[in-house]
Amino acid sequence: MNEIEQLSARVGSLEGELTKIQENTLSDNPVIPPDVLTVLNNAIMQWFGTNGSNAAYGRAYVAASQSINDVTTVKVLLDSLSFVVNATWNSGTNDFTIKNAGKYLCTAVVSYQTVTSGKVYKVSIEKNGGDVQATILNAGGTGQQSVICTSILTLAIGDTIGMNTFHNSGLAENLLGGDIWNYFCFNKIS
């Protein structure tokens, strides 16, 4: 049976379970039977490819603009937390601490309000205080620019992850504020 046929069979069995739930919740005393909850929970965990206790993910962002000094690697001040599951967010250090060892997909995004043509703008993913992956933009023009860095990291329990940025424009530059412009996110993939 191929993957589509397996998914179709799973959906068909869930439709029967959903009918049981609908019939039960329409009664005066609605209760979802434990066997139905187990089937639904298992299907959800299979669909997402992990069990809930092993899943780990998080996202934080820069709510207000941040000034970045020239020729200095600067910690991006992720001052707002979107969500975190099975990790710890430290707003004082702007890092996440890992609770489940494994491989993680990490993404760091910085967006400068303006860039200077011919200058370098960098974003890096930080692990335990040191850069482990970076992306550099050699600005070919001016105006607003974003730099994105993505990497798969092997992380152990207690490792910290976050992001840094750097530029050499000759003067301080500002990051845009708002949750879509400057953020760090991660998701445990195995």
- Note whether 113 and 160 are same-domain residues: yes
Beta strands of 37-101 (E only): which ranges? 57-61, 66-68, 74-75, 80-85, 87-90, 95-98
Number of domains into which the chain is organized: 2
**Which pair of structure tokens corresponds to residue 52?**
């809930």
Collapsed DSSP state (helix, strand, coil) of residue 32: coil
Above 90 in pLDDT, residue 44?
A: no
- Note whether 38 and 87 are same-domain residues: no
Ramachandran angles phi, psi of 26, nearest 5° = -85, -10
pLDDT in tens, 129-181: 999 999 999 998 888 999 999 999 999 999 999 999 999 999 999 999 988 89
**Which pair of structure tokens corresponds to residue 29?**
């005393």
- Note whether 67 and 23 are same-domain residues: no
- Note whether 12 and 61 are same-domain residues: no
pLDDT in tens, 47-72: 554 445 678 999 999 998 999 999 99
- Note whether 70 and 40 are same-domain residues: no
The angle at the Cα of 49, spanning 48 to 51, to the nearest 5 degrees, equals 90
Cα–Cα distance between 84 and 48 in angstroms, integer?
17
10 Å Cβ neighbour count for 135? 17
Domain that holds residue 88: 57-188
Q: What is the pTM of this model?
A: 0.72
